[in-house]
Amino acid sequence: MKDNLKCLLFDAIADNSDSGIAVIDSNGIIIYYNQQMSEIEGMDHDEVINRFVFSVFPTFNKKNSTLLKAISTGKPVYNQEQQYINHKGKKIFAVVTDIPIVENGKVLGVVEFAKDLYRAKNLYDSINRLENQHIAYKKNDDPKQRKPNYYTFDDFKTQNDFLKGIIERTKRLSGSDSNVLIFGETGTGKEIIAQSIHNLSGRNNRPFIAQNCAAIPETLLESILFGTTKGSFTGASDRPGLFEQADGGTLLLDELNSMPISLQSKLLRVLQEKYVRRVGATTEKPVDVRVIATVNTNPLALIQEKTLREDLFYRLSVIYIYIPPLRERKEDILYLTNHFMNKYKHIVSGTPPRVSREVKEEFLKYSWDGNVRELENVIESVINTIENEEEIRLEHLPYYLLEKLKKPDLQAAHSIIPGSSLADTIETLEKKLIIEALELSRGNISIAARMLKLKRQTLQNKVKKLGIDKSEFLDLV
C-alpha cells in the first residue's frame, strides 16, 4: 500500500512539474518520461518509453552525456548545459541535472531533470525588456512629466440605455481601490473601460500596466508578473515583475481565463496578502496595486469548466462590469458606424461617402462576432479602398464580410429540439435567454429586464411561469 502511494505521489509531482523528468534504469532503458520532457525533446511518450537510450539519442556517448556519467560513476551532475540530437534529427539544448538512484552501493538508475535552454533564453530576453521599461519609468517618475493614458470614459461610445447605466455606475466606483472584473466578448472595449477607470481614480498619476495573459507561456508569465531573483534560472538576475512596477497604480490582466489554474492560486495569494515574492526568492515585498481583470467568456461558465478559480473570481469581482456584445445593442450599430465614418473621413479627399440603405440593413442583421473592433475595422477598410463614390454599397465591403452575409445565422436552428412543437421550442429558447440574463446581472431582476427589453413585472411573471429559481443567481452577488 505504501509503495503504491509513493508511486502515485511521484507521478503527481512529476506530471505537474515545470521541469522535464526522465528515469533511466541501470541498463540504459527509459522507464519514465513526463510531458514536459516530451515537449523539450520533441518526442511522444510512446516512442521513448521502454527503449534503449542510445536508440533514442544516437549521439550520446560516455564523454558527452551527463546521464551516462551519472550511471557509471554513481555521482550526481548538477546544472550542466547539454547539446544533443534525438533519433528524429532534432537538436536539443537543455540544462540538465542527473541524480543517480543508489542502493547498497549499486546504481539502480538515474533521474534526469531538464530545462529548455531556448525557453530560458526567451524568458531572460523578455524580462530584460521589462526591466528596461521599468528603468525608463523610474527616470520619468515626476507625475507632471508622465504621458497620460489615452482612454477616458468619453472614448466609450454607446446609445444603449443599459450600457449607459453601467458606465455611470463605473464612473462612481472608479475612485475605489477595490479590484474590478470586466466581462465582455472580444472587441467590446474592455481595455477602454479599464484605462478609463484608472484615469478617473486617485491612482492616475501612477503606472497603468496591461498584460495579455494569453500572449505569454505559463513559465514566462509567472516571472513577468512576480519578478525574478539572480540564479532562479540560467541567466536570471534580480528583476521586478509587473506587480512591483505597477506599485501605487493599476495592473490590467487581460484575458485572465487564459492564465493556468496553478498560476491563478499564486495570483490569489498576492491579492489577499498584498505581498509579492519573486521567482526563486525567499523574502516578500509589499505591493499596493489595484487589479483590473478581463474575461471574454461568462465567468460562471469558466468556473464550471474549472478554467477560473471560484475564490479568485470572488476576490476580483468586488466591482463587476458586463459589456454586452454589439449584436445585443442594435441601436449602437448605426450610431457607431457614423462615429467611425467621422473618425476616418480624413483619409478620403473631398466629401466622404455616405452609407447606403442596403449596407445599413445588412449591418443591423449581421452578428458582429468581433463586436465594435470588427465594425471599426470594416469602416476603416472601406474608407481606404473606396474611390470617388458618393455612397458605400455592399460591393465595397471586405470580401470576408460579404461571404458571411451570404450565410444565414443558424444559431437559432441549432437550438431546435427534434420532434418538439413550435410553442415548446419558443419556451425553451425563452427560458435559456432569461437564465443567461439573470446570470449576467447576478440575479438583479431590474438589470435583467433591461437587458431583455422587458418590463420588470413581465420578467417576474415569466420567471415564475418557467419555474426559474431566482435564489440560484442571488447567491452570485
Q: What is the 3-state secondary structure (H, E, C) of the chain?
A: CHHHHHHHHHHHHHHCCCCEEEEEECCCEEEEECHHHHHHHCCCHHHCCCCEHHHHCCCCCCCCCHHHHHHHHCCCEEEEEEEEECCCCCEEEEEEEEEEEEECCEEEEEEEEEEEHHHHHHHHHHHHHHHHHHHHHHHCCCCCCCCCCCCCHHHCCCCCHHHHHHHHHHHHHCCCCCCEEEEECCCCCHHHHHHHHHHHCCCCCCCEEEEEHHHCCHHHHHHHHHEECCCCCCCCCCEECHHHHCCCCEEEEECHHHCCHHHHHHHHHHHHHCEECCECCCCCEECCCEEEEEECCCHHHHHHCCCCCHHHHHHHCCEEEEECCHHHCHHHHHHHHHHHHHHHHHHCCCCCCEECHHHHHHHHHCCCCCHHHHHHHHHHHHHHHCCCCCEECHHHCCHHHHHHHHCCCCHHHHCCCCCCCHHHHHHHHHHHHHHHHHHHCCCCHHHHHHHHCCCHHHHHHHHHHCCCCCHHHHCCC
Residue 123 lies in a domain: no
pLDDT in tens, 186-239: 999 999 999 999 999 999 999 999 999 988 877 688 889 998 887 655 555 678
Q: Is the domain of 266 the same as that of 152?
A: yes
Q: Is the domain of 97 the same as that of 156?
A: no
Q: Is the domain of 361 the same as that of 468?
A: no
Q: Identify the CA nearest to 197 among candidates 218, 221, 227, 177.
A: 177
Q: Identify the CA nearest to 241 among candidates 233, 251, 231.
A: 251
Residue 124 lies in a domain: no
Per-residue pLDDT tens digits of the chain, which is 477 residues long: 455 555 666 666 666 666 889 999 988 899 998 888 888 888 888 888 999 888 888 777 767 788 888 888 888 988 887 778 887 777 787 888 999 998 888 888 999 988 876 555 555 555 555 555 555 545 554 444 444 457 999 999 999 999 999 999 999 999 999 999 999 999 999 999 999 999 999 999 999 999 999 888 776 888 899 988 876 555 556 788 899 999 999 999 999 999 999 899 999 999 999 999 988 788 899 999 999 999 999 999 999 989 999 999 999 999 999 999 999 999 999 999 999 999 999 888 888 899 999 999 999 999 999 999 999 999 999 998 888 888 999 988 988 888 888 765 444 444 444 555 666 667 777 888 888 778 777 777 877 777 777 887 888 888 888 888 877 766 443
What is the distance, to the nearest Å, from the Cα of residue 282 to the centroid of all Cα atoms in its chain? 28
Q: Is the domain of 171 the same as that of 319?
A: yes
Q: Is the domain of 254 the same as that of 165?
A: yes
Domain boundary among 301, 323, 345: 323
Q: Is the domain of 157 the same as that of 96?
A: no
Residue 206 lies in a domain: yes
* CATH value at residue 67: 3.30.450.20
CA distances from 67 to 17, 101, 120, 205 (A): 20, 12, 21, 55
Residue 121 lies in a domain: no
Q: Is the domain of 203 the same as that of 338?
A: no
Domain boundary among 116, 131, 148: 116
What is the distance, to the nearest Å, from the Cα of residue 358 to the centroid of all Cα atoms in its chain? 38
Residue 420 lies in a domain: yes
Q: Is the domain of 330 the same as that of 319?
A: no
Q: Is the domain of 394 the same as that of 434?
A: no
Residue 355 lies in a domain: yes
Q: Is the domain of 189 the same as that of 283?
A: yes
Domain span including residue 10: 2-116
**pLDDT value of residue 46:** 85
The Cα–Cα gap between 360 and 392 comes to: 10
* CATH value at residue 447: 1.10.10.60
**pLDDT value of residue 178:** 95
Domain boundary among 409, 436, 456: 409
Domain count, the chain: 4
**pLDDT value of residue 340:** 95
**pLDDT value of residue 147:** 45
* CATH value at residue 368: 1.10.8.60
Residue 135 lies in a domain: no
Q: Is the domain of 462 the same as that of 388?
A: no
* CATH value at residue 288: 3.40.50.300
Residue 133 lies in a domain: no
The Cα–Cα gap between 477 and 473 comes to: 8
**pLDDT value of residue 144:** 41
Q: Identify the CA nearest to 51 among candidates 24, 71, 69, 72.
A: 24
Q: Is the domain of 304 the same as that of 247?
A: yes
